[in-house]
A and B are shown apart, each in its own frame.
Chain A
């Protein structure tokens, strides 16, 4: 809804592209690994923001789509022998269908009930995959090292995963931005503010809500496919890890819920902080404690997050940072 003086989207895409090229050009694998993780977290946080920030539904167990995408893609690569890229694209489809099927009943719930339902679904999925032999059961699935030869070796495969994650992150941000500026996005935000009023002004809430949920499921599925392709092994505990879900929520809140830039800033800041804490011998054991404390302070004192706070403090920024 804001007049844009500097085009945010081209600026942020260019920034990410330059950032992504940096470790490749300087041949710095540890930086590449670090950025791979940041792009993955940006994808997860921006996706959650679409359903949580724009639509107002706190999807606590959103990591379920990361796990599903990972599993479906891994199955296609490992059992069916597919190449990574088509596996990633095809794996997103059942994840989206599942999101639509789940979304239909649970998006009728409001507030805490929806959040609890999403946790339940994530836990249920973990149990399902724990017991499903087709997907390796409790042990999961793992690649034979020779799988990577078709990509030109492990290093090349790692780089392919890195490029893919960059593209997925940029795609997520682009979609998030376009939604925020669209009529569809306005409907979502009206539903977030007051669903009853939204209905009275002529919005039929079920369709946009389900659409938002499906969109927010597709990108984590792709991120999961990429992550587990690079990882070479997938097992239920790792695929449906609730902690990662909660961490993504923290990133959204930290950066600024409901803004396009917030989840990007939040994911980068959170990952930077974690890197700093983990490598600091005095603080390493308190990493999660400090993350929790940070969330508490944000929620209590700067509930609009870093980006939201800046936008409130310096209204001129609103034109630049959606």
Chain B
């Protein structure tokens, strides 16, 4: 196994606020890394640093052996990093198929329009949106928009997928389907970093888990190790003794 993404001492500041504080971790190729932490822990900010939205950060980010810190988002995309947003951002006035074609046409592979459309059709079929292909993206419901967001990201055939809470707001059936997609991706050698609040889902599918709190990494390890870590319990529930008591009483 080789390390595909290496985050070293990454720090993102907004004025006096340190949103991400010297975060350091590695992701091995073809694995799923769960990135968890309470609201405001800096998870999405870290994604923004990785894919170049905040390209002025401290520390360094190395993807596939090359430093990508400071690159603009379109250059990061060309290297094979795709992103699915927490708050879905469909291109509303374009059809569903056009949305996904955009992902295929301008990402890593830089395909022609015809070839991109073929990839898009394939991705839509995979994510169960084939029958909605010609509908305007604005007309989809939330669950469908989530799938569209993922389809657009996957259309670029990324080597690394940054999935930001793609499970939020889905029903158990839909969550199960999505986890299936992640497992399929892993079996194809695609690396996934997922931010997720649905604990059973993250713990179920992740190979490793990194926990952020107030911008700092407070724990890292297998799902099992992380869930038993007192610091993690404290971050989520406050005082661990209190937490333990609540759990017992509950």
Kindly list chain B residues whose C-beta atoms are within 8 Å of the C-beta of A263: none
Do the beta carbons of B156 and A193 come within 8 Å of each other?
A: no
Shortest A319–chain B CB gap in Å is 10
Q: What is the chain B residue whose CB lies nearest that of A190?
A: B102
Kindly list chain A residues whose C-beta atoms are within 8 Å of the C-beta of B107: 201-202
Task: List the 7 closest A-B pairs by CB distance, nearest first.
Answer: A202-B77, A193-B91, A202-B106, A199-B73, A204-B74, A183-B113, A202-B107
Besides A190-B102, A196-B53, A202-B110, 13 new A-B residue pairs in contact (Cβ under 8 A), listed by A number: A1-B95, A1-B98, A182-B113, A183-B112, A183-B113, A189-B94, A190-B91, A193-B92, A197-B89, A200-B77, A202-B74, A204-B72, A205-B74
- Residue A13 CB within 8 A of the other chain: no
Do the beta carbons of B93 and A193 come within 8 Å of each other?
A: yes
- Residue B105 CB within 8 A of the other chain: yes
Shortest A112–chain B CB gap in Å is 20
- A189–B112 Cα distance when bound, in Å, is 16
Do the beta carbons of A203 and B94 come within 8 Å of each other?
A: no
Do the beta carbons of A203 and B74 come within 8 Å of each other?
A: yes
Can you give 9 A-B contacts (C-beta < 8 A)? Answer: A186-B98, A190-B94, A193-B93, A194-B91, A196-B89, A199-B72, A200-B77, A201-B102, A201-B106
Do the beta carbons of B106 and A203 come within 8 Å of each other?
A: yes
Kindly list chain B residues whose C-beta atoms are within 8 Å of the C-beta of A202: 74, 77-78, 106-108, 110, 156
A interface size (C-beta, 8 A): 21
- Residue B123 CB within 8 A of the other chain: no
- Residue B217 CB within 8 A of the other chain: no
Could you say which of B51, B93, B101 has the most chain A C-beta atoms within 10 Å of its C-beta? B93
Q: What is the chain B residue whose CB lies nearest that of A197?
A: B89
- Residue A258 CB within 8 A of the other chain: yes
Kindly list chain A residues whose C-beta atoms are within 8 Å of the C-beta of B112: 183
- Residue A217 CB within 8 A of the other chain: no
- Residue B83 CB within 8 A of the other chain: yes
B→A interface (CB under 8 Å) = 51, 53, 72-74, 77-78, 82-83, 85, 89, 91-95, 97-98, 101-103, 105-108, 110, 112-113, 116-117, 152-153, 156
Kindly list chain B residues whose C-beta atoms are within 8 Å of the C-beta of A50: none
Do the beta carbons of B156 and A201 come within 8 Å of each other?
A: yes
Shortest B62–chain A CB gap in Å is 20
- Residue A169 CB within 8 A of the other chain: no
Q: Which of these, A186, A200, A258, contacts B101 with CB under 8 Å?
A: A186
Kindly list chain A residues whose C-beta atoms are within 8 Å of the C-beta of B72: 199, 204
Given contacts A1-B98, A202-B74, contact A186 B105 (CB under 8 A): yes
Do the beta carbons of A1 and B101 come within 8 Å of each other?
A: yes
Do the beta carbons of B89 and A186 come within 8 Å of each other?
A: no
Shortest A123–chain B CB gap in Å is 32
| Interface residues in A196-238 (C-beta closer than 8 Å to B) | 196-205
Do the beta carbons of B98 and A200 come within 8 Å of each other?
A: no
Kindly list chain A residues whose C-beta atoms are within 8 Å of the C-beta of B156: 201-202
Given contacts A199-B72, A199-B74, contact A187 B53 (CB under 8 A): no
- A186–B98 Cα distance when bound, in Å, is 8
Kindly list chain A residues whose C-beta atoms are within 8 Å of the C-beta of B108: 202
Shortest A252–chain B CB gap in Å is 15
Scan A174-196; emit 1 where CB is below 8 A from any B CB, else 0: 00000000110011011011101
| Interface residues in A244-277 (C-beta closer than 8 Å to B) | 258
Kindly list chain A residues whose C-beta atoms are within 8 Å of the C-beta of B98: 1, 186, 189
Shortest A184–chain B CB gap in Å is 9
Q: What is the chain B residue whose CB lies nearest that of A200?
A: B73
Given contacts A182-B113, A183-B112, A196-B53, contact A201 B94 (CB under 8 A): no
Kindly list chain B residues whose C-beta atoms are within 8 Å of the C-beta of A192: 93
Q: What is the chain A residue whose CB lies nearest that of B48?
A: A200
Kindly list chain B residues whose C-beta atoms are within 8 Å of the C-beta of A258: 93
Scan A1-36; emit 1 where CB is below 8 A from any B CB, else 0: 100000000000000000000000000000000000
Do the beta carbons of A200 and B53 come within 8 Å of each other?
A: yes
Do the beta carbons of A201 and B95 come within 8 Å of each other?
A: no
Do the beta carbons of A193 and B113 come within 8 Å of each other?
A: no
- A258–B93 Cα distance when bound, in Å, is 10
Shortest B134–chain A CB gap in Å is 8
- A171–B78 Cα distance when bound, in Å, is 34
Kindly list chain B residues whose C-beta atoms are within 8 Å of the C-beta of A199: 72-74, 77
- A193–B89 Cα distance when bound, in Å, is 9
- A307–B73 Cα distance when bound, in Å, is 36
Q: What is the chain B residue whose CB lies nearest that of A3?
A: B134
Do the beta carbons of A189 and B53 come within 8 Å of each other?
A: no
Shortest B90–chain A CB gap in Å is 8
Shortest B102–chain A CB gap in Å is 5
- A102–B107 Cα distance when bound, in Å, is 29
Q: What is the chain B residue whose CB lies nearest that of A258?
A: B93
- A190–B95 Cα distance when bound, in Å, is 11
Could you say which of B74, B107, B116 has the most chain A C-beta atoms within 10 Å of its C-beta? B74
- A183–B110 Cα distance when bound, in Å, is 10
Could you say which of A192, A197, A203 has the most chain B C-beta atoms within 10 Å of its C-beta? A197
Shortest A206–chain B CB gap in Å is 10
- A196–B53 Cα distance when bound, in Å, is 8
- A186–B100 Cα distance when bound, in Å, is 11
